[in-house]
Amino acid sequence: MHQNGCTENYFLKQIVPELVVFCVPLLSFLGEPYEFIPLDWLKKWLDDSTATKEIDSSVFLCSHGKLHPDKMGEIKRVSLQAAKLLYERYGGGPRLDGSSLCRDCVSERCRVLRLKKQLDEDYKEISNLVKCTPSGEGYWVDKASLRSWRQLAMEQLEEDEHETKHSNGHTNGQGPHTNKFDLDVSGGVEDETKTFNEDIICSHGGLSILETERKLVSNEVWTKLREYFPKAPEFTHIQEPCRQCLTLEQEEKDNEAVSKMMALDQKNQLLNLFHEKNRPTLNKWPQGTDRLYIVPLFFVEEWRKFIRRPTKSSPVSNVGNSLLLCPHGGFMFTYDSLINGEAQHIALLWPNEWEVISRLFIVDKPIAIHCVRQTTQDSSTMQYTTQPDSLKLPPFAVMTEILTSGRLSVNLWEVLSRLFGKLFQVST
């Protein structure tokens, strides 16, 4: 049996090369049928030291399942008789003949080559055409794409050309190498390629309302651009901008107008507080009043940000005085601690300013400091009290109780620790 196989193999290796070498030049002239055999497979088959495997033509197929034009240099045209002998002896497939060449791939390759050659000429013509204003009719193109369309076209053509190119493979029984996990070996990250005319589309899929970002081009210009970007979004001159975007834009303008009016009104009513003029101090109690009000300095700083940039900053609606109170409701500062440096965490208000703030903002808890003059026969002294009363426990003990009771979050604990760090040092 082995002797018969060797004899058959010897016969094929003597006869088939003659059919390949001598008959192929006459195939086209005589109109004889033919098929394609992998050239690499034929070389290995003629080499006695190499084990002959079945014929694998699958590596020459394109994504459409047809013969890829890039692989024509890697296959050998043989007579139908020679192909029949080889396939009967070694098996394999698929069998490829003159009708197997992919028409779609050939057409796409011709299109890419034609447009690459035509690109420079079209660039000059379009550059001249866009200088003229179209007479009413045309198509909308975003200006960024119009400025860089040549580069985008070249990238698109190179991408199309790359897609039509065939991946490297092996023949004579060795299939193309594939990644074990079917990942991109270059890194697995897909490049974000800019699409022509994409900036003209809003988030709702309609025409952008930004008129300054787009330009109307003539039908002639758009026709040429469409050759390079057949999938580009298309908007004619009669296309209306996105209604949803227009509604949102109007709402935003209305909100900005309200914010500006609100900021102007608040600024006019609290002008000295905004400019930080004529501010009361505790070191020298102001005459004419026995009461001052207290708010966190953070509130005043955020409020000033809103007044300066009402369309960029959020309006302030609450005065969070509870930040300055302990869980028992006591004020966490004393008069003495405030005049010794802790006043940097608060802002003092005149009574008339407090009336305005109470009307404009939501106040969770009013905090005031009172000055009472006590006169005796020998002397006159000033006594200062707060409402609510100042804390009775040392600050460190109070904060420890708050934290251990679980009534304060860790983040707030860190904030308060920074605010009242000096008090803790004094108390401990």
SS (HEC) of the chain: CHHHHHHHHHHHHHHHHHHHHHHHHHHHHHCCCEEEEEHHHHHHHHCCCCCCCCEECHHHECCCCCECHHHHHHEEEEEHHHHHHHHHHHCEECCEEHHHECHHHHHHHHHHHHHHHHHHHHHHHHHHHCCCCCCCCCEEEEHHHHHCHHHHHHHHHHHHHHHHCCCCCCCCCCCCCCCCCCCCCCCCCCCCCCCCCHHHECCCCCECCCHHHEEEECHHHHHHHHHHCCCCCCCECCCCECHHHHHHHHHHHHHHHHHHHHHHHHHHHCHHHHHCCCCCCCCCCCCCCCEEEEEEHHHHHHHHHHHHCCCCCCCCCEECHHHHECCCCCECCCHHHHHCCHHHHEEEECHHHHHHHHHHCEECCCCEEEEEEEECCCCEEEEEEEECCECCCCHHHHHHHHHHHCCCCHHHHHHHHHHCHHHHHHHC
pLDDT at 96: 87
Residue 233 has, within 13 A of its CA and on its CB side, a CA count of 19
d(CA 246, CA 321): 41
- Is 341:357 a contact under the CB 8 Å cutoff? no
Nearest alpha-carbon partner for 161 in 115, 118, 121, 197: 115
Question: What tokens does 227 get?
Answer: 């050759």
Q: Split the chain (428 residues) into runs of 10 and give each run's mean pLDDT.
A: 48 50 44 84 77 83 85 85 86 86 83 80 89 86 90 80 56 40 38 75 92 91 90 91 93 93 95 94 88 93 94 91 87 87 88 94 92 76 84 52 53 53 42
The CA-CA-CA angle for residues 214, 219, 223, to 5°, reads: 100
Predicted local distance difference test score (pLDDT) of residue 174: 43
Strands 368-375 and 291-296: antiparallel
Tell me which residue has tokens 């949102």: 248
For position 235, what pLDDT does the model report? 93
The reported pLDDT for the residue numbered 302 is 94
pLDDT computed for residue 34 by the predictor: 87
Measured CA to CA, the distance from residue 113 to residue 308 in angstroms comes to 59
Contact between 420 and 395 (Cβ < 8 Å) = yes
CB–CB of 354/361 below 8 Å? no
Q: Which residues contact 371 (CB under 8 A, 6 or more apart)?
A: 285, 290, 291, 382, 383, 384
Q: Is the entire prediction scored with pTM above 0.95?
A: no
* Cα(222)–Cα(212) distance, integer angstroms: 19
Report the distance separating Cα 209 and Cα 142, nearest Å.
Answer: 12
Rama region for 290: left / alpha / beta (φ>0; ψ in -120 to 50; rest): alpha
